[in-house]
Every structure is written in C-alpha cells, then in structure tokens.
Chain A
C-alpha cells in the first residue's frame, strides 16, 4: 500500500483526497502528495530497501502508488559509474555518472511513468495518455504494453522519425498533431479536461513527478548511504531537479543516511531542508530554452516563459511548471543554474562518449558541457564528490551527431588497407 494522506496545494495549502487532480480548485496552484511519514519511518530502513527489487520499486514505501503490484518494466537502479576518464579530462578526481540512459525505454522517464501508470490503474483508468516530443511517448507506450491497457500518445507532426518509431513499436494509438508547439500544448490540455484518461503529466502529475525522487535515493544508496557534494542535473520543467533534492531530504529526515539523525518534516513536507543535506544542486539548461537559468542569472522572482529553440528537444519546455520551485532549491542548496551554449551541446555528447563509452542524447550533452563549465570555473573542486545525471540515450538523437560518421574508405585489398593505414598514422 501507499503511505499517503492525500494532496495539498503548494500555494494556498488547501488539502484534497488522493484523487486524479493536479491543480487546486481554489487558487489553481499545483498539488503535491502528502505522505504519512510517521508510518513510513516505522516500516522503511536501509535493510528493507536493500531486500527490494532492483528497480525503483525497492523504494515503494516512499512512493505514492501501491508498490506491491506495480506496472514495472524494471525502471531504475541504473549504474553509478566512477568516471575516471571524464574526471581526468576535467580535473575531477571524485566524479560519478548516474547512467539513466540504460532504462528499459532508454530514458529516466521510465521512473515517473512507472509510478504514474501504477497509480492510474489504482484509480481504475483503462487508458493512459501523454503529449510528448520523444522520451515520454516511448515510456508511456512501453508501460501500457506491459500493463495491457490502451496508450494514446500525442506528438507534434514534425517529430524526428527515430523517436516516432521508438514509441510506435509498442503499438499505442499515435496521434500526430499538425500545428505549432503552443497549439499542440493547448489542445492536449483541453483533452485532459474532457476525456476520462490518465494523462500522466496532467491529472497524474502529482504522482508522476514523485518517481524522480528515486534518482536521489539511488545515488545515496549506491554511494553507501551518503550524499554527494554536488549534483549536476539537466532541466526542462524543473520537476526532476526539485524531486532529487526532495529525495535527499526525505532520506535525511527519515534517518536513512549513515551518521545522520532523522528529524521532523515540519509543516511543509515539500520545502523541508535537513541540515545534513549539503549537496549543491547545479541545473543545466540549453541556451535555446533556458527560462529557469535566465531567471536565476538575472535574480528574477518569476520565471518568464520563452519560445524554445534548441537542439536539445527533450529539454525544450518554454513554460516550466516547476521553474520557480527549482530556483528555490538552487537558493537553499547554494547551487547554480547555467545556460549551455547551443554550439557546445554536441561537444558534450562527444566528450562523454570518448572518455567513458557512454552515448547520450542532446540533453546529456547539455549536462556534460555544464559540468565542464563548473569544473573550469572552480565551482567544483578537484576532490569534491560529484554526481552527474545522464538521463537519455544517444540513439534517440543521432541526427545531432551525424557528423562523426567519417569512415576511412578502402578497396577490398590488403594493399589498399595498408596504404590507407600508413597514411592515417
């Protein structure tokens, strides 16, 4: 069972039962899950977690859906790798990569969708829907195939072929919408109001977003129940960024970190900051869509929506729902936000591939270039324990790096090979 008490408005504090809702009926503020931490603290321990499955559901007591029978394609518990090659290149001796590109549908979205799909079935839905430019579409379609329920996936009509195939293979109802990004956005928002479907990032959003907390839990567990000094995270809506921070603080408050005494969650579970959590949260956005980084750099109290124009399409959310909350996390953690120049994104992809053998998508290129900036500027010191999150697989965005295909061409003879090989030395 899920140890939750209901939902609560993040703005006005009004409470609601745990239902398929995402905004407060009074002030239209976003709703967040309210947990029964008193009960959770009685049942969860490092030992209970370590006996769980090698997926996000090992943290079932900390998730808002029933983890006894989840929709599970084995999302999560992805590798945390000591990055010796990349670390050497950047002058970082204690660098780790959380490689979430190896999830079943090749992105971190499997974490959030697994939670949302499980909750949707609990609520009795038989159709799960989303609007996506790639990773989310693949993950929703895959989880629906696993659960045996209908998937309806809306995509912009100009989406790259590779991403369409990656979702279509699971046989969802695939709806290609002709129109601008804003028009697709508005249509899907209206559909969510009118149709009895579980829209994972609309009416399921309070539950869906919580799946990203597992990115924080896993890193802590894989480091031996301790937290890093820095994390470097790509960001679009800001939700994943805020949930990693929330995950760290939940572990601390529940006494699940080594050498850390638990504490109360206080009056607002979503803004709790345990003093033992000293991890600095560094957000990376692509310059072509960087509303949160812009607001941070200009010390603005509001995040101004922008028209996205970036090659990092999985980060191209011009109007980020959690932007302002992400800025609060940066402030609390003494972290930073950075807009990575568009022409550095591909360099980041190549650097990771050439030093660590990991092929990431454009969002990962943003993250690695942002990490390089932090290292070069001295914001991360050589011996600081640093974790960089790689959230999607490079095979999703091969068009961004097609320039690397430049084979040495020969005739089918030894002589031709030797001439070429000597010349290439």
Chain B
C-alpha cells in the first residue's frame, strides 16, 4: 500500500461532477480530502490517496481523462 498527495483542479464545467466519489468506486483507492476551495470559475481539492501504487496510477490517469487537472502537492517541482 502506498500513499500519494495530489491536487485536483476542476474547471467550472466539472465542479458539479462527483469525480472523487467515482475515483473511490472505480478503483481500490481510499480518498482523504485535506483542504479545498471552490470559486466562481474554478475549484481545487488537495487530498491524499491510499492504495497500491499501480492502482493509484490508474486512478489518476482516469481522473485526468475526465478533464480534471492533476498536480503534485505544492505546485510544480520542476524549477527554472
């Protein structure tokens, strides 16, 4: 079992989609929301995912395929 901390960013059209619920239903992943904010045209959720590493990878690929942006916690780590 591994853990991964990620940030999901939802565009306005996706804010109403139950993406995190479906992530837990479609994959063997436990989702644990730590912080979130929903604005007028964008929302984000910072959460921890727990599960087998391949399952987390598959789950994150599915989240990306829905149009939700997936980023590592704390912004880009590649620096100039």
**What residues make up the interface of A, taking CB atoms closer than 8 Å to B?**
11, 22-23, 26-30, 109, 130-136, 154, 156, 181-182, 184-186, 188-190, 192-193, 199, 201-202, 205, 236-237, 300-302, 304-305, 313-323, 363, 392
Contact = CB atoms under 8 A, between A and B. Distances in A.
Nearest to A29: B35
User: In the complex, which of the residues B9, B41, B48, B80 has the most CB atoms of chain A within 10 Å of its own CB atom?
Assistant: B80
B39 interface: yes
A28 B76 contact: no
Contact of A27 (B35, B39, B71): B35
Contacts of B23: none
B66 interface: no
A316 B79 contact: no
Contacts of A321: 74-76
Contacts of A314: 80
Contacts of A130: 79
Interface residues of B, number: 25
What is the interface of chain B mostly: helix, strand, loop, or mixed? strand
Contacts of B37: 301-302
Interface string B20-49: 000000000000001101010110101010
User: In the complex, which of the residues A28, A314, A322 has the most CB atoms of chain B within 10 Å of its own CB atom?
Assistant: A28
Given A302-B44, A314-B80, A315-B80, A23 B75 contact: no
Given A301-B39, A304-B42, A134 B75 contact: no
B69 interface: yes
Nearest to A236: B80
A184 to B, nearest CB: 6
Given A27-B35, A28-B5, A301-B39, A189 B72 contact: yes
B78 interface: yes
Contacts of B78: 131-133, 154, 156, 181, 184-185, 188, 317
The 5 closest A-B pairs by CB, nearest first: A321-B75, A314-B80, A189-B72, A136-B79, A131-B78
Contacts of A236: 79-80
A28 B34 contact: yes
B1 interface: no
Contacts of B41: 300, 304
Contacts of A156: 78
Nearest to A321: B75
Contacts of B39: 300-302
Contact of B80 (A182, A184, A188, A313): A313
12 contacts: A11-B35, A23-B74, A28-B35, A28-B46, A29-B35, A156-B78, A185-B78, A192-B77, A300-B41, A304-B9, A304-B42, A319-B76
User: In the complex, which of the residues B48, B70, B75, B77 has the most CB atoms of chain A within 10 Å of its own CB atom?
Assistant: B77
A48 B50 CA distance: 51
A201 B80 contact: no
B76 A320 contact: yes
Contacts of B17: none
Contacts of B35: 11, 27-29
Contact of A132 (B5, B7, B79): B79
B66 to A, nearest CB: 15
Given A28-B46, A29-B35, A302-B37, A320 B75 contact: yes
B73 A131 contact: no
User: In the complex, which of the residues B5, B71, B79 has the most CB atoms of chain A within 10 Å of its own CB atom?
Assistant: B79
B74 A22 contact: yes
B79 A131 contact: yes
